Amino acid sequence: MTEEAGGGGSRWDGWLGPRIWAPAGAILVAAVAVFAVLFVREFRSPQTITRRCEPGDPGCELRQKIHQHADFAVVIGGQQFDFGRKQFISTADKELSPNVHIHSPRHTVIHIHREQTTWDEFFRSLGFELTDTCLTLPAGERYCNTATEKLKFVVNAVPVDSIMFEDIQGLSRVLISYGPETGDELMQQYAQVTDQACIPSGLCLARGTGSGEHGEPEPCTVTDNTCN
């Protein structure tokens, strides 16, 4: 409100003082907040409302059952590690892990029975520890990066920096190598990785059916990569 010059009248110039604007502003902010909450509740898509599965919840699995296989090799100082030892083999009576394991007769083939199974989970189930820079064997020997020898990974013929928290993919071929090898020498080691995962998967029947390689009775239907 301003005073007219030379007269006793006054006129409103459109400006409200802080005493008037402060309460009005607070009411406006509150109204906008309430509207936003109601809008989200009313119009958000049902698909965005998800419930996190917790272990033990009936009918609710964090990681669904699958049935896949992958080939792998661990080479230390030019020598391929032997996973055919009894301590690493799961049987029908004793599974080292229900999610991921090795069966006879193919000790270079991993059996994956849960989605999102990582290489870290697999190696831990056998007593190993794997990081991006170190491999620790069950007996305690550690192979860590030095100036001349390094831990290296090759996945499907492609060198990568890390596999620790990567999911094990069906029909993949993976090399974990420790030593001075690089370039062609490393790829020569990768060439030693078997390609037998298709056999227990039932995808190359000319090479075998994989019958009996999962324990008895067969726990999974092979051709559709699912478990019952």
Output the DSSP codes for 169-227.
Answer: PTT-EEEEEEES--HHHHHHHHTTS---TTTTTTS-GGG---TTTT-SS--EETTTTEE
Q: What is the pLDDT of residue 42?
A: 41
25 and 122 in one domain?
no
117 in the same domain as 35: no
Q: What is the pLDDT of residue 92?
A: 85
Q: What is the DSSP string of 2-63?
A: EEPTTSS-EE--S---HHHHHHHHHHHHHHHHHHHHHHHHHHS-GGG------TT-TT--SS
Instruction: Evaluate whether residue 25 is within a structural domain.
Output: yes
Query: pLDDT band at 218, cuts 50/70/90?
Result: very low
Q: Assess whether 46 and 159 both reside in one domain.
A: no
Whether pLDDT at 45 is above 80? no
Task: Mark whether 27 and 84 lie in a shared domain.
Answer: no
Phi, psi (deg, nearest 5) at residue 42: -80, -40
Residues 22-49 have a mean pLDDT of 48
Stretch (H or E) spanning 159:
strand 158-160
Residue 21 within a domain:
yes
Average pLDDT over residues 64-82: 96
Q: Is the residue at 56 inside a domain?
A: no
Q: Is residue 58 part of a domain?
A: no
Burial label for 122, CB within 10 Å (0-12, 13-18, 19+), is buried
The residue that leads in pLDDT, 141 or 60, is 141
Domain count, the chain: 2
On the CB side of 209, CA atoms within 13 Å amount to 4
Helices in 103-194 by DSSP H: which ranges? Answer: 119-125, 183-190
- Residue 142 and residue 30 share a domain: no
Q: Look at residue 32 and tell me whether its pLDDT is greater than 60.
A: no
Helix (H) or strand (E) holding 151: strand 150-155
Is the domain of 46 the same as that of 70? no
**pLDDT at residue number 86:** 95
**Which tens digits make up the pLDDT trace of 125-184?**
999 999 999 999 999 999 999 999 999 999 999 999 999 999 999 999 999 999 999 999
156 and 119 part of one domain:
yes
Residue 220 clears pLDDT 70, i.e. is over it: no
Q: Residue 28: inside a domain, yes or no?
A: yes
Residue 210: pLDDT band by 50, 70, 90 thresholds? Answer: confident
pTM of the predicted protein model:
0.69
Domain span at 207: 65-227
Out of 25, 50, 75, a domain closes at 50
pLDDT of residue 82: 97
* Residue that wins the pLDDT comparison between 209 and 64: 64
In a domain, 76, yes or no: yes
d(CA 145, CA 133): 6
Residues 223, 129: one domain? yes
Q: What are phi and psi of 113, to 5 degrees?
A: -120, 5
**How would residue 209 be classed by pLDDT, with cut points 50, 70 and 90?**
confident
Are both 200 and 118 inside the same structural domain?
A: yes
Q: Which residue has the higher pLDDT, 146 or 11?
A: 146
Which helix (DSSP H) or strand (DSSP E) does residue 130 occupy?
strand 129-130
Residues 182 and 111 placed together within one structural domain of the fold: yes
* Domain assignment present for 110: yes
pLDDT band, residue 198 (cuts 50/70/90): very high
Task: Please say if the pLDDT value at position 43 is more than 50.
Answer: no
Do 182 and 92 lie in one domain? The reply is yes
- Average pLDDT of the residues of the chain: 79
Residue 154 forms part of a structural domain = yes
Query: Are residues 127 and 207 part of one domain?
Result: yes
